Structure 1
Amino acid sequence: MFQPMLLLSLLLPLVSAQCGPGAVFQSSSSRCLTFFRTATDFQSAEAICATLNGHLVSIHNTIDNTFVSSQAQKYFDGSAWLGAKTTAPDVTNPLNWYWTDGTNFDYQNYRVGEPSAQGSTACMQLQTGTAKWLTANCTSQLPFICSYSSSVTPTCPTVTIPSHCPSGYTWYDETDFCYKSTVRFTSFNDARSACQADGGDLASIHSQTENQFLVELSKAGITNKDKGHNDDVFIGLIYQNSKWQWTDGTPVTYLNWGDGEPNNMEKEWWTSLVADPHEDRNTEDTRWNNVAQIDMRAYICKRAPLH
């Protein structure tokens, strides 16, 4: 195993400097990224990142995933460590994953067939050419990407995206709204309360493009085998006063029910987005299902931007 400071001194000359010595500035999250070509195991890579007062990189939305992978291709081909690791053998459950920087594991972009079990624990790698994720044994030797807070103003002016979303939210230009997918098994009412505490509500959807954006934001990248359908994502459509309504009060101008939905109207008055395909009902993939009063694995909040 490499000594962190020795390996750091050997590797820093290999990367370009745009955010202080040896880093790339990522304006969308105001952080610096450093790319290390020499392969090492996950634990050693995280220790090296700690010497920079950072961690292995975490990724929380499609924009950041595209940026990180495109920058990584400038330094190495193949795969590199991301900062995600499991706490249990079941790699298909997003709740078993965590980012070493302490942020929520709220976005995934798995390659087809992933994630795959690696024994008692697993770590995450980024396939730089495709921007897809796959699991690996944590003792594998891979290049890696560190992330740490920016303390240096970039020498080139950065483009300010007029999003001004709160931390954890992603701006969507077509709607000019901010969205956040939270991975936590919870009820519809508790999910809505959490969104309202953030100054918004459970997400309303008004077009196919907005629907697809939320699918990409919230999907786990797996095929659901739970026939109880608890692995979907709450949105804000409810059935009350004999009609479907958005909890944020916006008009129902778009519907995207799966085949045969809505059904069981005597008790299924809430709505989930099927962000990942179901093994038994693939026709619902990326569409909506009305559900009873059950917990879901995640929910999407929507709120106005700060500008």
Structure 2
Amino acid sequence: MFQKLIFAFLLSVISAACPNESYEWQNNCYFYQNISAVFADAESYCSSIGGHLASIHDGFTNSLLTQKGEQYFTENTNINFWIGLTNMVTQGNWAWMDGTLADFTDWRTGEPNNISSNLNCASLSLIDSRWQTNDCLNKKPYVCKVEKSLFDRTTTPFKKCSGNFTYFEATNSCYALFYPYWGGRSWSFGEELCQTFNGHLTSIHSYEEMEFVLHVAIPNSLANVYPWTGLYSPDENESWKWSDGSKVDYVRWAIGFPIDDSTRSCVYLSSGGYNNYLCDKTSSIVCKIKL
């Protein structure tokens, strides 16, 4: 009881720039999402609001997240919720989705369970505040962690793009990378996802825009991630179109492409240029929103 009173006191005095639907702790805003989602979609949502699934770096925060979860997840039957820890980004190593150092763990006895190759994502238990491995395709509630500065109007300059999107002045557009994950990101799935943000898979109309997508929209740590673009062929590679309806006025195929195969009718971007590939294959995606 005394510990909970301490938590309540701290929460009462730490309310500043975070939105009302979140709470602030150590210069971060935490958003609890009661609607269950697979790990990849949970992370995608967190990314869309400018953050990631929550990382945890000390025991107090771990207990605090659990206590708040008990309050937010009363309408959900799950007894645990997603946090941002997975071993799928760096194969075999447990790492946080936000790239911060894995300097604290609170695994349940016998965890992490490496017996099954499907148990690659971590959840936090509402019962004992311990972590356990889960199948990443299980649907669970989750908590997003966003830096408070994103919402601090007194210290943050005006942003043309919301959430995790990055602005490119030359095109007056916003761009964001969404990772492939193990749930898959086919070309059509990527286009549908981008449309939920009122955008499309990225179109490219100059060398400068292509370089921006490769080196700015995609973090340096993911230099080998090749994203789907909005370029596709509606007629077995006889012609090519952008999914946003814009003119195909800049074409830079990589050496050896396009491959003369009518099943390879969707295009991803590599450092060498455009590559046509099977549309149902998994890749990361870059969404583009025209302002």
TM-score by structure 1 length? 0.49
TM alignment of 1:199-238, pairs within 5 A: 199-215=198-214, 216-219=216-219, 221=221, 232-238=226-232
Letter in 2 for 1:217: A
Tell me what 1:159 maps to. 157
TM alignment of 1:65-214, pairs within 5 A: 84-86=84-86, 89-92=87-90, 117-118=92-93, 122-124=94-96, 133=99, 136=102, 138-139=104-105, 149=148, 156=154, 159-161=157-159, 163=160, 165-184=161-180, 185-214=184-213
- DSSP 3-state at the match of 1:221: helix
- DSSP 3-state at the match of 2:90: coil
The answer (yes or no) to whether the contact 1:269–1:291 under 8 Å persists in 2 is yes
1:289 maps onto 2:288 in alignment: no
1:253 maps onto 2:268 in alignment: no
1:177 and 1:151 map into 2 onto residues whose CA distance is: 19
- DSSP 3-state at the match of 1:259: coil
1:45 and 1:123 map into 2 onto residues whose CA distance is: 20
2:289 and 2:152 map into 1 onto residues whose CA distance is: 30
Tell me what 1:301 maps to. 287
C-alpha distance 160-148 of structure 1, shift in aligned 2 (>3 A): closer
C-alpha distance 25-291 of structure 1, shift in aligned 2 (>3 A): same
* Count of equivalent residues: 201
Letter in 2 for 1:47: N
1:42 and 1:267 map into 2 onto residues whose CA distance is: 47
The answer (yes or no) to whether the contact 2:241–2:248 under 8 Å persists in 1 is yes
- DSSP 3-state at the match of 1:196: helix
The answer (yes or no) to whether the contact 1:34–1:147 under 8 Å persists in 2 is no
What's the Cα RMSD here? 4.6
CA-CA distance at 1:298 after TM superposition:
1.9
- DSSP 3-state at the match of 1:240: coil
1:151 and 1:232 map into 2 onto residues whose CA distance is: 28
C-alpha distance 32-178 of structure 1, shift in aligned 2 (>3 A): farther
Identity %: 22
